[in-house]
Amino acid sequence: MSDALIVNSYNVAGMLMFRDYMVKMNSVIILGYGGYVPRYRVRAEEIARVWGEEQTGLPVEEKAVASLDEDTITMAVEAARIALKRAGIPPSRIGAVHVGTESKPYAVKPCGTIVAEAIGATPKVTAADFEFACKAGTEALQFISSLVEAGRIDYGLAIGSDTAQGRPRDALEYTAASGAAAFIIGRDKDKGVAEIEAWTSYVTDTPDFWRREYERYPRHTARFTGDPAYFHHIVNSVKALLDDEGYNFNDIDYVIFHQPNVRFPFVAAKLLGVDIEKVKPGMVAGTIGNTYAACSLLGLVKVLDQAKPGQRILLASFGSGAGSDSYIIRVLDGVELKRELAPTLEKFIERKTYIDYITYAKNRRKIIM
Amino acid sequence: MFRIKVPRYWRHKDFRYRLNAWKCNHCGEVHFFKPLVCRRCRLREFNKVMLPETGKLIAYTIVRSPPCGFEEQTPYIIGFIELEDGTRILSQITDCYPEELKLGMKVEVTFRRVREDDPDKIIAYGYKFRPAI
- Are the C-beta atoms of A94 and A184 separated by less than 8 Å? yes
Active-site choice (A62, A98, A134, A197) = A134
Number of Cβ within 10 Å of residue A220's Cβ equals 18
Residue B84: inside a domain: yes
Summarize the confidence of residues A148-155 as an average pLDDT: 97
Q: Say if residue A319 is in the same domain as residue A212.
A: yes
Residue A295: inside a domain: yes
pTM over 0.90: yes
Strand residues in A70-193 grouped as ranges (E) = 94-100, 126-130, 155-163, 178-186
| pLDDT confidence tier of residue B3, bands split at 50, 70 and 90 | low
Q: Say if residue A10 is in the same domain as residue A91.
A: no
Residue A62: inside a domain: yes
Burial-class residue A219 by CB neighbours within 10 Å (0-12, 13-18, 19+). Answer: middle
Q: Say if residue A20 is in the same domain as residue A41.
A: no
Q: Say if residue A94 is in the same domain as residue A208.
A: no
pLDDT at A6 over 90: no
Q: Which residue of chain B is at minimal alpha-carbon distance from A351?
A: B133
Q: Say if residue A313 is in the same domain as residue A224.
A: yes
pLDDT at B128 over 90: yes
C-alpha A25/C-alpha A196 separation (Å) is 7
Residue A48: inside a domain: yes
Residue A364: inside a domain: no
Summarize the confidence of residues B7-21 as an average pLDDT: 93
Low-confidence winner among A90-94, A181-185, A220-224 (lowest mean pLDDT): A220-224
- Are the C-beta atoms of B75 and B60 separated by less than 8 Å? no
pLDDT at A13 over 60: no
Q: What is the pLDDT of residues A193-203, one digit of tens each?
A: 999 999 999 99
- Are the C-beta atoms of A310 and A331 separated by less than 8 Å? yes
The reported pLDDT for the residue numbered A18 is: 43
Q: In this structure, are strands A94-100 and A155-163 parallel, antiparallel, or unpaired? A: parallel
Q: Say if residue A208 is in the same domain as residue A322.
A: yes
B94 contacts in chain A (CB < 8 Å): 67, 69
The string of DSSP letters for A204-221 reads ----SEE--TT-SS-EE-
User: Smallest Cβ distance to A105: which of B17, B73, B123?
Assistant: B123
Low-confidence winner among A215-219, A323-327, A343-347, B2-6 (lowest mean pLDDT): B2-6
CA distance A78 to chain B (A): 7
| pLDDT confidence tier of residue A3, bands split at 50, 70 and 90 | very low
Q: Which residue of chain A is at minimal alpha-carbon distance from B125?
A: A74
Q: Which domain holds residue B75?
A: 6-131
Distances (CA, A) of B87 to A70, A102, A236, B35, B50: 26, 39, 56, 17, 11
Query: Which among A28, A32, A22, A25 is positioned nearest to A300, based on CA atoms?
Result: A32
Q: What percent of chain A has pLDDT over 90?
A: 84
Q: Say if residue A56 is in the same domain as residue A135.
A: yes
- Peptide bond between residue A110 and the one before it cis (omega within 30 degrees of 0): no
Average pLDDT, chain A: 92
A111 is catalytic: no
User: Residue A59 is part of a domain; what is its CATH number?
Assistant: 3.40.47.10
Q: Say if residue A230 is in the same domain as residue A108.
A: no
Summarize the confidence of residues B65-88 as an average pLDDT: 93
Q: Say if residue A140 is in the same domain as residue A11.
A: no
- Are the C-beta atoms of B49 and B23 separated by less than 8 Å? yes
Q: What is the pLDDT of residues A271-300, one digit of tens each?
A: 999 999 999 999 999 999 999 999 999 999
Length of chain B: 133
Q: How many domains does chain A have?
A: 2
- Are the C-beta atoms of A135 and A202 separated by less than 8 Å? no
Residue A351: inside a domain: no
Q: Which amino acid is at A177?
A: A
The reported pLDDT for the residue numbered A27 is: 85
The reported pLDDT for the residue numbered B7 is: 86
Summarize the confidence of residues A172-194 as an average pLDDT: 96
- Peptide bond between residue B75 and the one before it cis (omega within 30 degrees of 0): yes
**CA A65, chain centre distance (Å):** 17
Residue B61: inside a domain: yes
pLDDT at A252 over 70: yes
Beta-carbon separation of A39 and B95 below 8 A: yes
A77 contacts in chain B (CB < 8 Å): 111
Residue A353: inside a domain: no
| pLDDT confidence tier of residue B6, bands split at 50, 70 and 90 | confident
Residue B67: inside a domain: yes
- Peptide bond between residue A123 and the one before it cis (omega within 30 degrees of 0): yes
B114 contacts in chain A (CB < 8 Å): 69
User: Residue B56 is part of a domain; what is its CATH number?
Assistant: 2.40.50.840
Q: Say if residue A213 is in the same domain as residue A165.
A: no
Which spans in B12-114 are helix H? 13-18
Residue A356: inside a domain: no
ipTM: 0.95
The reported pLDDT for the residue numbered A332 is: 97
Q: How many domains does chain B have?
A: 1
Q: Which helix (H) or strand (E) holds A44?
A: helix A44-50
The reported pLDDT for the residue numbered A53 is: 92
Low-confidence winner among A14-18, A190-194, A219-223, B83-87 (lowest mean pLDDT): A14-18
The reported pLDDT for the residue numbered A272 is: 97
Q: Say if residue A157 is in the same domain as residue A211.
A: no
Distances (CA, A) of A273 to A217, A226, A328, B63: 36, 17, 17, 57
Residues of chain B that touch chain A, judged by Cβ-Cβ distance less than 8 Å: 13, 17-18, 72-73, 94-95, 97, 110-114, 123, 125, 128, 133
A102 is catalytic: yes
Q: Which domain holds residue A244?
A: 2-25+198-333
pLDDT at A61 over 50: yes
The reported pLDDT for the residue numbered B1 is: 56
pLDDT at A12 over 90: no
- Are the C-beta atoms of A363 and A350 separated by less than 8 Å? no
Which residues does A146 contact at the CB level (< 8 Å), separation at least 6?
A: none
DSSP state of B66: P
The reported pLDDT for the residue numbered A4 is: 38
Average pLDDT, chain B: 93
Q: Which amino acid is at A246?
A: G
The reported pLDDT for the residue numbered A8 is: 39
The reported pLDDT for the residue numbered A286 is: 95
- Are the C-beta atoms of A279 and A119 separated by less than 8 Å? no
Summarize the confidence of residues A19-35 as an average pLDDT: 81
Residue A323: inside a domain: yes
A258 is catalytic: yes
Residue B1: inside a domain: no
pLDDT at A10 over 60: no
pLDDT at A246 over 90: no
Q: Say if residue A218 is in the same domain as residue A75.
A: no
Residue B87: inside a domain: yes
B112 contacts in chain A (CB < 8 Å): 67, 69-70, 74
The reported pLDDT for the residue numbered A205 is: 96
pLDDT at B59 over 50: yes
